Amino acid sequence: MISRIKRTPYFFIGLLMLPIASSFSTYSHSSFHTSPSFPSTLLSRSVLKQTTAALQENTVSLQWTEFYNTDQDNTPVLLLHGLLGSKRNFASLASSLGAQLEKQRRIVGVDLRNHGDSEWSDQMSYTAMAQDVLEFLKEQNIDKVILVGHSMGGKVAQAMSLLYPEKVEGLVVIDIAPVAYSRTDPHWKAVEDILHAIHAVDIVEATSKTEVDKLLRPTIPDPALRAFVLTNYDSRKKGWKIPVGTIVEELESIAGFDVPADTTYIGDVFIINGGQSRFVRHSYMDQIADFFPNHMLTTIRGAGHWVHAEAPDDTIALLRRYLDR
């Protein structure tokens, strides 16, 4: 059963008329601009883009992989992973999605800075990470892209669409809001506790991944979560593949959202969140609407923060409806 709140943006009407699983509930919001001129938004982007030269000096080259290719000339999809993740997190979903789309699209995933195979940096602001994505698009000669981002990657995708809207044809955000999370919030504190646990192991001479797993068990009792964390451990080098200390130091930036509040992206935005997660709350709706006036929020009941991993079939079904609309 779909529940609709407020008005539905025109581009979503066809989406909502399709049959949809009973595990979904939907919130939609529309607040159309009637003037083509947005002085405050343009001013904010102008001020930000004056710092582009400084950002470019610290741009990180992103490693990438192509999950799906096609001869069709539709706008490609770029997948952005979450904190402690990598491009590999989307491998299964991307392959299945590519094969099921009616509008065939190239699907690519990248490793964000300080993750996977990409270079390291001592900065993790969202404006800086959005600049990395912009440079990647230039390197790949990609004119426009549809961004799909989870968690931290969802914030990068939101920052990219707000700062460089001319490069973003569409945006799907998975279980994250464009807000500065309180570091005392229990859900965010749980994230920080995981990072601090990993950092503590970083200075311990562990001889194997099994030993690291044992060291993490008291702080991270969930075996699936530990397995996810351990994808960042290099057994050969007996150390982390990522700069854990830097990430811990940058937790304030990662919890935050350093995009000016008066910027707006008027493209189509689809937000998918997990019903058991607390990263997208009712109290954030006004802020989401200010940034993204043409958005729809859909909840997959029973899923937690790792929506695409916990409910892959539902996530693919929703992505198909958005990408094939």
Secondary structure (3-state) at 305: coil
* DSSP assignments along 114-180, one per residue: TSTTSPP-S---HHHHHHHHHHHHHHTT---EEEEEETHHHHHHHHHHHH-GGGEEEEEEES--SS-
Query: Which residue has 């065939």 as its token pair?
Result: 104
> Is 118 assigned a catalytic role?
no
CA angle 135/293/127 to nearest 5° reads: 25
CA max distance for the chain:
63
Q: Which residues pair with 30 in a beta bridge?
A: 294
Query: Which residue has 């945006």 as its token pair?
Result: 171
Residue type, 308: H
Total residues found in the chain within this entry: 325
> Is 199 assigned a catalytic role?
no
Contact of 3 with 25, CB cutoff 8 Å? yes
Query: What would the two tokens of residue 22 be?
Result: 């009973």
Contact of 38 with 264, CB cutoff 8 Å? yes
CA distance to 89, 95, 137, 146, 151, per residue, from 312 (Å):
12, 12, 27, 19, 16
Q: Which of 151, 161, 253, 277 is catalytic?
A: 151
Q: Which of 29, 81, 115, 305 is catalytic?
A: 305
Contact of 156 with 145, CB cutoff 8 Å? no
Could you give the residue numbers annotated as active site? 151, 305
